[in-house]
Amino acid sequence: MPELRQDPVSGRWVIFSPARAARPSDFAAAPPPPAAGSCPFCPGAEAETPPEILALRPAGSPPDSPGWTLRVVPNRYPALLRAGEPGAGVEGLYRCMDGVGAHEVIIESPAHERGLAALPPAQVAAVLAACRRRIADLGADPRLRYVLIFKNHGAAAGASLAHPHAQLLATPLVPRQVEEELDGARRHYEDARRCVFCDVVAQETGPDGGRRLVSADAGFAALVPYAARFPYETWILPRAHASAFERGDAAQDAALAEVLGGTLRRLERALPGLAYNLVLHTAPCRAPALEHYHWHVEILPRLAGLAGFEWGSGFCINPVLPEDAAAALRAAEV
């Protein structure tokens, strides 16, 4: 059973998942890419994943058979397991918790070579709809506090399989980065009676804004945040206030698919071969509609030569001003 442990000094929680690796020799080098034809996410290899949770497939076709256009399956090496109650433990000074949760894979399409940026908008919208369904389903489980959707694209971003996929991690705790956002947003709301994300969107799309804006349409703003941690970091925010992504509808999926695809294509044009992490930040499970919080997507490019500095220095050091990154991305429209 995986286990969560809390650092007694900083309070941060870490997931220990011995199923995901074992001996020192496992770390000697990056895992080799699977040989052509051996991808477990390709059509025909359905038996190589655990049984599917959700799929888009022709009416009447049996589960775990070919013909699908999108599959959601449990991660074969799950960081957390949906079993038992999240019991807590103590060892002297220390606190731990059973690793109850879920770890799923969203296989974005049958096409092995076609990344999210290259999928048709309707297929990206189908991926977003599947994410909303999985968050809503898992969010009803009272043992779970948060459902995080993320994507590691490229080996430098931690992807171990090339076939385009996103991941879902449902956790018995709210991730620290989201908790910090929720706390900061709550403080801003208490001061100003306004959502801080709405204020950011208003400033960046307003008459004095624009320098950090990548694109804006009726539904969404894509922008490089004022204090971007990474060069070309880009956030996509809905212009209308909403705290929970999963309460959106098909119109939201269609509109977000357009801007997400367009933003990824700009990034790939400006930075060929780009690796990135993408994270969806939404409200915690079962939270009511929150006046102070605002769901959004964060795209975090992982560029050569920058790894490690943030751990070493305790600060993110970003050599590219957000205004310069945004200008390059505006010019990189595809």
Stretch 236-295 residues interacting with a copy of itself (CB under 8 A): 270-273, 275, 277-279
Question: Hunting for tokens 């920058």 — which residue is that?
Answer: 306
Shortest Cβ 73–a copy of itself spacing (Å): 18
Span from 117-125, 200-208, 214-222, 282-290 in contact with a copy of itself (CB under 8 A): 200-208
* Among 102, 236, 260, 300, contact with a copy of itself (rule: CB under 8 A): 300
Q: According to the binding rule CB under 8 A, does residue 17 interact with a copy of itself?
A: yes
The set of long-range contacts for 218-221, using a CB threshold of 8 Å and a minimum separation of 24, is 218/255, 219/252, 219/255, 219/256, 219/259, 220/255, 220/256, 220/259
Q: According to the binding rule CB under 8 A, does residue 112 interact with a copy of itself?
A: no
The interface with a copy of itself within residues 68-87 (CB under 8 A) comprises: 79
Instruction: Say if CB 59 and CB 99 are below 8 A apart.
Output: no
Span from 44-52, 116-124, 149-157, 247-255 in contact with a copy of itself (CB under 8 A): 149-157
Rounded to 5°, the CA angle 21-26-28 comes to 145
Shortest Cβ 17–a copy of itself spacing (Å): 6
Q: According to the binding rule CB under 8 A, does residue 317 interact with a copy of itself?
A: yes
Q: According to the binding rule CB under 8 A, does residue 207 interact with a copy of itself?
A: no
Phi-psi region of 41 (alpha: psi -120 to 50; beta: other; left: phi over 0): alpha
Q: According to the binding rule CB under 8 A, does residue 29 interact with a copy of itself?
A: yes
* Among 178, 223, 242, 260, contact with a copy of itself (rule: CB under 8 A): 178
Task: Pick between residue 30 and residue 36 the one whose CB is nearest to a copy of itself.
Answer: 30
Q: According to the binding rule CB under 8 A, does residue 321 interact with a copy of itself?
A: yes
User: Binding-site residue total for a copy of itself (CB under 8 A)?
Assistant: 94
Shortest Cβ 317–a copy of itself spacing (Å): 5
Which residues are catalytically annotated?
165
* Among 37, 90, 91, 288, contact with a copy of itself (rule: CB under 8 A): 91
Span from 51-59, 126-134, 251-259, 317-325 in contact with a copy of itself (CB under 8 A): 317-325
Cα distances from 35 to residues 39, 152, 162, 211, 246, in angstroms, run 7, 20, 11, 45, 36
Report helix angle 196-205 to 176-192, nearest 10. 80
DSSP 8-state secondary structure symbol assigned to residue 115: -
Of 225, 232, 212, 224, the closest CA to residue 301 belongs to: 232
Give CA–CA dist 24/156, Å, rounded.
Answer: 20
